[in-house]
């Protein structure tokens, strides 16, 4: 039966909106919000409140010439200074004509820095997928562990591949492995397309709690992983039907969304995951286009907020085999911490909030071009702000934020209790002209039109306090003092770009540990590779994860006191 489109089903979009500085453009319907149009133009806009008009992050700058083409709601979230500067919330601004607006906190993902490298350790080559040629039948059998999963005509033993995919909340990183040699033959990365619609984990849990939302989020992730697999195949010359397994690693929510498992239970007490990982699925069930009988492996999940990415990190760093007391820390919106005390593992997650990802920070942004990523105040008090790509500063990313606050603590602009000096109270003329009041509150000019405000410092304090409190309580649960920790392993993209002295100055880690820190990068991906390369690793880690003692910090009566104590800045903390 042929179908016809009714006039109502075709959206009418009479206007064009162009977003600067990227130049991305999209057609807009009457009364559509700028946020919706920006997303259609492929821009990733920080919108943690999901367009409710409460978070204040989705700002656009409206030039006077564009005012007639827009209807701006006065929401009361932006300050009077911001409104005077022409700022408006894109989620509360509707289109009424052709316009050009500046959207500073958005990017297309192009040029975004995605950390693909990570510590690989030593993995004995004993892959889960193997092939055996049977000359009598002139056929090759494909095994997954001890099971025969496929039968190919002729001798195909030289072509045996698998892919590892790290599914981050913001980015995806995939690698293709030649299992006959244990070598990585190609690596690709991209933005997680879900970030266009819901940036943080909590809003994705909410969206994935309905059948429709789950199908939407799963579908876009599946398509992006398939696109990455195609790119891996193209760049390496490998045929996708010779890829027999994909290992997916990521936080608990991402693993649910990648496999189409409902996320509702992750959003309400007792936060029980619908899947626990540690098993394989047919690739066709997940919708991945590899060999028709190919499989998808999910590493075991430790808990609702300590995911398979941490399992992968434990595996590849051989955490439980390291001598002494070792802290494994992944700093993100959830700080995930694992303590190994001579092989006994304790894990916890702590809600650090998104400050370290540049969110809820006045000029915060992700690690893309123009983000201040390094910051120093030299002995002659000159300021050195380094941006990604050497471009004019357009915001501050997580590592820059840590550097800036650490330096301001060092020179006394931020006191150990987090209070910022007010203009003219500092007594240091060289820095005095960078201090000002924004909406009556102290702020520091980091670069042209880029400020760090008192409220930003408070957000950093909360994030730092939560993470440090998690570390302190985990140590207490293990009956250990900080100076008994032999090694600190920091995983993840954010951690990779941090400077140890800034971490110490902020008091994010106990000062005594600053010379014991090691950065290992993206161990979620390299751990996923290890699962592909060594089948015994799966049995081993399955048993190990079952023995991890997950400490619920929220249930610990000491948490609040330790958290408040941990909010102070400085070396002595
Ligand atoms: S998305 Fe939060 S205020 Fe617009």
Mutate to test the pocket of ligand 1, among 91, 200, 359 (most ligand atoms within 8 A of CB): 91
Q: Which atom of ligand 1 is nearest to the CA of 47?
A: 1
Residue 1 in any domain: the answer is no
Kindly state the average pLDDT of the residues 347-353.
85
In angstroms and rounded to an integer, the radius of gyration of the C-alpha atoms of the chain is 25
8 A C-beta contact, residue 53 and residue 118: no
Distance of CA 51 from the midpoint of ligand 1 (Å): 4
Do 378 and 509 lie in one domain? The reply is no
Provide the pLDDT confidence category of residue 110 given band limits of 50, 70 and 90.
very low
Provide the pLDDT confidence category of residue 500 given band limits of 50, 70 and 90.
confident
What gap in Å lies between CA 82 and CA 455, rounded to an integer?
15
Do 276 and 342 lie in one domain? The reply is no
Residue-level pLDDT at 26: 84
Do 151 and 257 lie in one domain? The reply is yes
What gap in Å lies between CA 494 and CA 497, rounded to an integer?
6
Provide the pLDDT confidence category of residue 190 given band limits of 50, 70 and 90.
confident
Q: Which atom of ligand 1 is nearest to the CA of 92?
A: 4
Task: Tell me the per-residue pLDDT of 24-82, one tens digit each, with 9 for 90 and over.
Answer: 788 888 888 998 888 777 776 766 666 778 777 788 888 888 888 888 876 677 877 77
Question: 280-309 as b/e, with b when 16 or more CB fall inside 10 Å?
Answer: bbebeebbbbbbebbbbbbbbbbbbbbbbb
Distance of CA 331 from the midpoint of ligand 1 (Å): 25
Kindly state the average pLDDT of the residues 476-484.
95
Residue 512 in any domain: the answer is yes
Q: Say how many domains are in the chain.
A: 4
Closest among 396, 411, 309, 307 to 356, alpha carbons compared: 396
CB atoms within 10 A of CB 268: 10
Place of tokens 């007639």: 68
Instruction: Return the residue whose CA atom lies nearest to atom 3 of ligand 1.
Output: 53
Residue-level pLDDT at 145: 94
Q: Count of residues for the chain? A: 573
Residue-level pLDDT at 503: 85
Last residue of a domain, one of 411, 435, 455: 455
Do 473 and 346 lie in one domain? The reply is yes
Report CA 227 to chain centroid distance, whole Å.
Answer: 20
Q: Helix or strand or coil: residue 547?
A: helix
The helix (run of H) or strand (run of E) holding residue 548 is none
Q: pTM of the prediction? A: 0.77
Task: Tell me the per-residue pLDDT of 12-35, one tens digit each, with 9 for 90 and over.
Answer: 778 889 888 777 788 888 888 998
Q: Which atom of ligand 1 is nearest to the CA of 53?
A: 3
Task: Tell me the per-residue pLDDT of 425-474, one tens digit each, with 9 for 90 and over.
Answer: 777 777 888 999 988 899 999 998 899 999 999 999 998 999 999 999 99
What gap in Å lies between CA 132 and CA 285, rounded to an integer?
26
Distance of CA 50 from the midpoint of ligand 1 (Å): 6
| 563, two tokens | 């958290």
Which protein residues touch ligand 1 with a CB less than 6 Å away?
A: 47, 49, 51-58, 89, 91
Distance of CA 288 from the midpoint of ligand 1 (Å): 34
Distance of CA 58 from the midpoint of ligand 1 (Å): 5
Do 272 and 187 lie in one domain? The reply is yes
Do 98 and 203 lie in one domain? The reply is no
Last residue of a domain, one of 427, 455, 483: 455
CA dihedral 553, 557, 559, 561 (to 10 degrees): 180
Distance of CA 165 from the midpoint of ligand 1 (Å): 31
The helix (run of H) or strand (run of E) holding residue 518 is strand 517-521
Q: Which atom of ligand 1 is nearest to the CA of 90?
A: 4
Average pLDDT, the chain: 87
Distance of CA 47 from the midpoint of ligand 1 (Å): 5
The helix (run of H) or strand (run of E) holding residue 236 is helix 211-236
Q: Helix or strand or coil: residue 340?
A: strand
The helix (run of H) or strand (run of E) holding residue 51 is none
Mutate to test the pocket of ligand 1, among 36, 37, 54 (most ligand atoms within 8 A of CB): 54
Kindly state the average pLDDT of the residues 273-285.
96
Mutate to test the pocket of ligand 1, among 52, 105, 202 (most ligand atoms within 8 A of CB): 52
Q: Which strands, in side-by-side order, build the sheet including 383-387? A: 383-387, 371-377, 395-396
Residue 107 in any domain: the answer is no
CB atoms within 10 A of CB 433: 9
Q: Of all residues in the chain, what percent carry a pLDDT higher than 90?
A: 52
pLDDT at 176 over 90: yes
Provide the pLDDT confidence category of residue 107 given band limits of 50, 70 and 90.
low
pLDDT at 277 over 90: yes
Residue-level pLDDT at 369: 81
Do 291 and 180 lie in one domain? The reply is yes
405 or 113, which is more confident: 405
187 or 389, which is more confident: 187
| 228, two tokens | 């990455």
Place of tokens 């690698």: 175
Residue-level pLDDT at 6: 42
Residue 117 in any domain: the answer is no
Mutate to test the pocket of ligand 1, among 36, 51, 82 (most ligand atoms within 8 A of CB): 51
Kindly state the average pLDDT of the residues 183-202.
83
Residue-level pLDDT at 2: 39
Q: Which atom of ligand 1 is nearest to the CA of 46?
A: 1
Task: Tell me the per-residue pLDDT of 152-161, one tens digit each, with 9 for 90 and over.
Answer: 999 999 999 9
Kindly state the average pLDDT of the residues 112-117.
54
Last residue of a domain, one of 102, 118, 139: 102
Distance of CA 546 from the midpoint of ligand 1 (Å): 41
pLDDT at 151 over 80: yes
Q: Which domain holds residue 376?
A: 357-455
Residue-level pLDDT at 542: 92
Distance of CA 92 from the midpoint of ligand 1 (Å): 8
Residue 124 in any domain: the answer is no
8 A C-beta contact, residue 340 and residue 386: no
8 A C-beta contact, residue 299 and residue 523: no
117 or 338, which is more confident: 338
Do 162 and 262 lie in one domain? The reply is yes
Kindly state the average pLDDT of the residues 166-193.
90
The helix (run of H) or strand (run of E) holding residue 142 is strand 139-144
Place of tokens 């610990």: 556
The helix (run of H) or strand (run of E) holding residue 461 is helix 454-478
Kindly state the average pLDDT of the residues 113-142.
83
Do 292 and 363 lie in one domain? The reply is no
Residue-level pLDDT at 414: 94
CA dihedral 532, 537, 541, 544 (to 10 degrees): -170
Query: Which distant-in-sequence residues (6+ apart) come within 8 Å of 419 by Cβ?
Result: 454
Do 386 and 474 lie in one domain? The reply is no
pLDDT at 7 over 50: no
Q: Which atom of ligand 1 is nearest to the CA of 45?
A: 1
Query: Which distant-in-sequence residues (6+ apart) come within 8 Å of 244 by Cβ?
Result: 129, 142, 144, 149, 150, 160, 161, 162, 290, 291, 293, 294, 295
Residues 26, 29, 31: CA angle, nearest 5 degrees: 125
Closest among 563, 486, 564, 491 to 523, alpha carbons compared: 491
Residue 241 in any domain: the answer is yes
Residue-level pLDDT at 458: 94
Report CA 335 to chain centroid distance, whole Å.
Answer: 11
Task: Tell me the per-residue pLDDT of 329-340, one tens digit each, with 9 for 90 and over.
Answer: 988 777 899 999
What gap in Å lies between CA 510 and CA 493, rounded to an integer?
21
Mutate to test the pocket of ligand 1, among 56, 78, 104 (most ligand atoms within 8 A of CB): 56
Strand partners, 451: 445
Task: Please state which of the ranges 38-42, 166-170, 272-276, 563-567 shows the lowest mean pLDDT.
Answer: 38-42
Residue-level pLDDT at 424: 77
Residue 119 in any domain: the answer is no
CB atoms within 10 A of CB 497: 21
8 A C-beta contact, residue 160 and residue 238: no
Q: Helix or strand or coil: residue 330?
A: strand
8 A C-beta contact, residue 206 and residue 199: no
Do 407 and 492 lie in one domain? The reply is no
Provide the pLDDT confidence category of residue 170 given band limits of 50, 70 and 90.
confident
Closest among 182, 162, 287 to 232, alpha carbons compared: 162
Task: Tell me the per-residue pLDDT of 311-327, one tens digit each, with 9 for 90 and over.
Answer: 999 999 999 999 999 99
8 or 520, which is more confident: 520
pLDDT at 108 over 60: no
Report CA 527 to chain centroid distance, whole Å.
Answer: 17
pLDDT at 400 over 70: yes
Residue 235 in any domain: the answer is yes
Question: 342-377 as b/e, with b when 16 or more CB fall inside 10 Å?
Answer: eeebbbbbbbbbbbbbbbbbbbbbbbbbbbbbbbbb
Distance of CA 90 from the midpoint of ligand 1 (Å): 7
Kindly state the average pLDDT of the residues 539-561.
90
CB atoms within 10 A of CB 501: 14
Closest among 199, 194, 232, 200 to 214, alpha carbons compared: 194
Q: What is the CATH number of the domain that holds 181?
A: 3.30.420.480
Task: Please state which of the ranges 140-144, 289-293, 408-412 shows the lowest mean pLDDT.
Answer: 408-412
Task: Please state which of the ranges 40-44, 109-113, 330-334, 351-355 shows the lowest mean pLDDT.
Answer: 109-113
Do 238 and 155 lie in one domain? The reply is yes
Q: Of all residues in the chain, what percent carry a pLDDT higher than 70?
A: 92
Distance of CA 373 from the midpoint of ligand 1 (Å): 25
Q: What is the CATH number of the domain that holds 348?
A: 3.30.420.40
């Amino acid at each position: 039966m042929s179908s016809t489109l009714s006039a109502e089903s075709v959206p009418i979009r009479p206007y064009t909106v162009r977003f600067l500085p990227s130049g991305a453009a999209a057609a807009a319907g009457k009364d559509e919000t700028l946020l919706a149009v920006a997303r259609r133009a492929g821009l990733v806009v920080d919108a943690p409140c999901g367009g409710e008009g409460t978070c204040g992050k989705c700002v656009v700058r409206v030039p006077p010439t564009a005012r007639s083409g827009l209807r701006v709601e006065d929401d009361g979230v932006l300050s009077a200074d911001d409104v005077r500067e022409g700022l408006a919330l894109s989620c509360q601004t509707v289109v009424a004509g052709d316009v050009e607006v500046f959207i500073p906190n958005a990017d297309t993902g192009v040029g975004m820095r995605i950390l693909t490298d990570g510590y690989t350790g030593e993995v004995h080559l004993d892959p889960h997928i193997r092939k055996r040629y049977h000359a009598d039948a002139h056929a090759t059998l494909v095994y997954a562990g001890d099971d025969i999963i496929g039968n190919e005509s002729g001798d195909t033993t030289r072509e045996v591949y698998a892919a590892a995919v790290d599914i981050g909340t913001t980015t995806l990183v995939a690698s293709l492995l030649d299992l006959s040699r244990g070598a990585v033959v190609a690596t690709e990365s991209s933005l997680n397309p879900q970030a266009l619609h819901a940036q943080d984990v909590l809003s994705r849990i909410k969206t994935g709690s309905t059948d429709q939302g789950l199908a939407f989020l799963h579908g876009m992730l599946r398509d992006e992983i398939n696109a990455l697999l195609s790119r891996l195949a193209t760049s390496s010359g490998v045929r996708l039907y010779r890829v027999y397994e994909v290992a997916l690693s990521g936080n608990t929510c991402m693993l649910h969304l990648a496999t189409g498992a409902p996320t509702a239970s992750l959003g309400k007490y007792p936060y029980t995951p619908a899947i626990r990982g540690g098993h394989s699925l047919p690739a066709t069930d997940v919708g991945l286009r590899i060999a028709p009988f190919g499989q998808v492996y999910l590493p075991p999940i430790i808990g609702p907020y300590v995911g398979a990415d941490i399992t992968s990190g434990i595996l590849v760093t051989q955490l439980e085999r390291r001598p002494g007391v070792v802290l494994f820390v992944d700093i993100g919106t959830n700080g995930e911490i694992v303590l190994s005390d001579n092989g006994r593992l304790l894990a916890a997650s702590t809600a650090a909030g998104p400050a370290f990802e540049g969110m809820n920070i006045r000029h915060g942004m992700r690690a893309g071009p123009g983000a201040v990523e390094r910051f120093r105040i030299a002995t002659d008090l000159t300021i050195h702000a380094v941006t990604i790509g050497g471009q004019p500063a357009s915001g501050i990313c997580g590592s820059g934020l840590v550097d800036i606050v650490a330096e301001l603590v060092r020179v006394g602009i931020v006191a150990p209790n987090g209070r910022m000096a007010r203009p003219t109270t500092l007594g240091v003329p060289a820095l005095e002209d960078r201090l000002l009041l924004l909406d009556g509150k102290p702020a520091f000019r980091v670069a042209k039109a880029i400020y760090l405000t008192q409220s930003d410092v408070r957000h950093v304090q909360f994030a730092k306090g939560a993470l440090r409190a998690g570390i302190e309580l985990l140590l207490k649960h293990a009956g250990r003092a900080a100076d008994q920790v032999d090694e600190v392993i920091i995983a993840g993209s954010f951690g990779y770009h941090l400077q140890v002295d800034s971490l110490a100055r902020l008091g994010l880690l106990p000062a005594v540990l600053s010379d014991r820190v090691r950065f290992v990068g993206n161990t979620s991906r390299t751990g996923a590779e290890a699962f592909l390369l060594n089948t015994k690793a799966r049995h081993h880690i399955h048993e190990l994860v079952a023995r991890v003692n997950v400490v619920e910090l929220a249930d610990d009566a000491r948490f609040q006191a330790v958290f408040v104590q941990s909010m102070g800045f400085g070396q002595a903390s």
